[in-house]
Chain A
Amino acid sequence: DIQMTQSPASLSASLEEIVTITCQASQDIGNWLAWYQQKPGKSPQLLIYDATSLADGVPSRFSGSRSGTQYSLKISRLQVEDIGSYYCQQAHSNPNTFGAGTKLELK
């Protein structure tokens, strides 16, 4: 199975701050990487697919990037509504493994 190592596990940041979350795949998955946001008490929502493509309706302050088997999610200016947990997921092969998640809180 492909392992997705996500970091950090938790993150405290201030409003308007730049936030970066990373995921390391245990093998080559190409661009088969998605990011999801889960707000407290809600279902997850797709943020980014194909490593860098924004899902419909997602604000442009979110962006995804890839360097080899390392993937990053960047929030350019943190807003209150961005608080929650974030998960990466590889869609390259079954089982479609998720990272352990990053809990993002306001400082």
Chain B
Amino acid sequence: EVQLVESGGGLVQPGRSMKLSCAASGFTFSNYGMAWVRQAPTKGLEWVATISYDGSSTYYRDSVKGRFTISRDNAKSTLYLQMNSLRSEDTATYYCTRFTSLYLGVMDAWGQGASVTVSS
């Protein structure tokens, strides 16, 4: 069974940093592109960042470029999101997602989500 389990969320002050992790199991992690998607309270889904299967390519939405870094450790089957200079508008549930093997950009597995609250 495919499982994605996020950790590392919580309350953080504006301007500070936080790192999310996503432990993957039930599939060969190193074969799949991955992404982070977030959802602000009572709002819709928003793509945040993507990383290729081998970590060689990364993409970010404009509002997080230069502040967030997506990375992966294929030996540990773990995806990361390092978030620096956090802002109140980054408050959201962050989902770790897996891309399908054939249709890049289509997310066929989602974690349960990690809640991040940016507030003083």
Residues of A within 8 A of B (CB): 32, 34, 36, 38, 43-46, 49-50, 55, 85, 87, 89-92, 94-101
Q: Is the CB of A50 within 8 A of B110?
A: no
In the bound assembly, the distance between CA atoms of A96 and B61 in angstroms comes to 9
Question: What 10 pairs between A and B have smallest CB-CB spacing?
Answer: A91-B105, A43-B110, A101-B44, A98-B45, A94-B59, A49-B106, A96-B47, A34-B106, A96-B105, A46-B108
Q: Tell me which of B46, B105, B107, B110 contacts A32 (CB under 8 A).
A: B105
Secondary structure call for the A interface: loop
In the bound assembly, the distance between CA atoms of A10 and B26 in angstroms comes to 36
Inter-chain contact total with CB atoms closer than 8 Å: 65
In the bound assembly, the distance between CA atoms of A53 and B100 in angstroms comes to 13
Check if B104 is an interface residue, CB within 8 A of chain A. Answer: yes
Closest chain A CB from B48 CB (angstroms): 9
Chain B residues closer than 8 Å to A100, beta-carbon distance: 44
Contact A50-B103, Cβ < 8 Å, known A43-B95, A45-B110: yes
In the bound assembly, the distance between CA atoms of A38 and B59 in angstroms comes to 25
In the bound assembly, the distance between CA atoms of A34 and B95 in angstroms comes to 17
Q: Is the CB of B44 within 8 A of A87?
A: yes
Q: Is the CB of A92 within 8 A of B110?
A: no
Residue on B nearest A91 in the bound complex, by CB: B105
In the bound assembly, the distance between CA atoms of A38 and B39 in angstroms comes to 12
Check if B25 is an interface residue, CB within 8 A of chain A. Answer: no
Check if B82 is an interface residue, CB within 8 A of chain A. Answer: no
Chain A residues closer than 8 Å to B105, beta-carbon distance: 32, 34, 89-92, 94, 96
In the complex, which residues 64-120 of chain B have their Cβ closer than 8 Å to any Cβ of chain A?
Answer: 95, 100, 103-108, 110-113
